[in-house]
Amino acid sequence: MTDLSTTMPAGFLWGASTAAHQIEGGNHNSDWWEMEQHVLAEGGGPIQESSGDACDSFHRWPEDMDLLAQLGFTDYRFSIEWARIEPAPGEISHAAIDHYRRMVEGAHERGLRPLVTLHHFTAPRWFAHRGSWYAEDAADRFARYVEAAAPVYADGVDHVCTINEPNMVALFPALVEMLTGDGGATEQLANHGLPEPDAKLTESMIRAHRRAAEAVKSRAPHVRTGWSVAVQAVQAIEGAEQAAKAYGRPRQDVFLEAAHGDDWLGVQTYTRTRIGPDGLAPVPDEVERTLTGWEFYPQALGETLRHVSTVAPDVPLIVTENGIATDDDTRRVAYTAGAVSGMANAMADGVDVRGYFHWSALDNYEWGSFRPTFGLIAVDRTTFARTPRPSAAWLGGGGRDRRWPTA
């Protein structure tokens, strides 16, 4: 077992993550904003409240970065918003590009290395109205945006994530149908797990990723490109190994395999899924759950890193998201300590992990509600005052002194 007080490898990325739509506020031109307003107007859907002002980070990003640097983090993963950069087809907002460029420069001024995500679930309204990722030219449209955004990442950015959780994007239509049906969505998720990604969307996401990576390299050959995949620890019970493989392959392994040849691969892990001969094994009533209803299972990170390293054995890994929604910060520390321990042990056994980004830097809009608090930093919903939690200083302390934090 690895002692958590051991020194991190040279150059190891140690940071926290955010996503533009979840923290910026006022993202009026995005497909998600439009969907929020529609679902809330109709009533009865999975969206409980609008993103609204979110954390007002579009204006307060310097304060966010100041806090992360002061807490000891050395890296910051944030996304740029396609809907702001290309509000209409072919119309590029140079003001938006300048805004995100200033964020990159601001990160360096504070001693933070930026990891920039190009697509974190949201797209322009016009893209959605044209068929979204189902459109035949979706990958070309995305690549055009990526090329236009080159001034943001061409200088001072070493890592670019093309698409965040493409497997979630590919299963989103089926998930929405489940959640907006005649009730029973919670029961379906509990009994059957996540729906299977749409095959056409899976192909579209892989094609878009490859086109985007080519676009980045054409403008900034030095930038290391990859994408981040949501990976649960899928466990077989009662001899259900084949059933577990059948469950995991379309939902995550296909997307992991698509990373062959990339510079790095992002792993985003929160909990586990147990599969028996009859399908998904429900989480027992007596186990601890997070505010999202997921099982408290920090061991998932070490397990998924080992799994991913067998599916994409030649690609370096970066933990781009890992965290817990809780109103008890001591449980956040306990969860993260267990997760980091599992990561360290996997690394000691030869798994090539190059960085760890906690989700999330801030309490934010969790795709329908502000209630699940993932943040290392609390955000007042009225004043937008930022208050770092004890977990923030504890985890951030592992950055500047280059040692694993201890609980």
- Which residues are catalytically annotated? 165
Please tell me the distance from the alpha carbon of residue 358 to that of residue 397, in angstroms, as a whole number. 13
Q: ∠296-300-303 over CA atoms, to 5°?
A: 160
Q: Which of 321, 326, 124 is nearest to 229 (CA)?
A: 321
DSSP string, 84-121: HH-SBTTB--HHHHHHHHHHHHHHHHTT-EEEEES-SS
Give me the residue label for tokens 């077989």. Answer: 236
- Cα 11 to Cα 15, 268, 322: the distances in Å are 12, 20, 20
Q: Helix, strand or coil for residue 173?
A: helix
Contact 125, 81 (CB under 8 A): no
Please tell me the distance from the alpha carbon of residue 304 to that of residue 346, in angstroms, as a whole number. 10
Q: ∠191-196-200 over CA atoms, to 5°?
A: 165
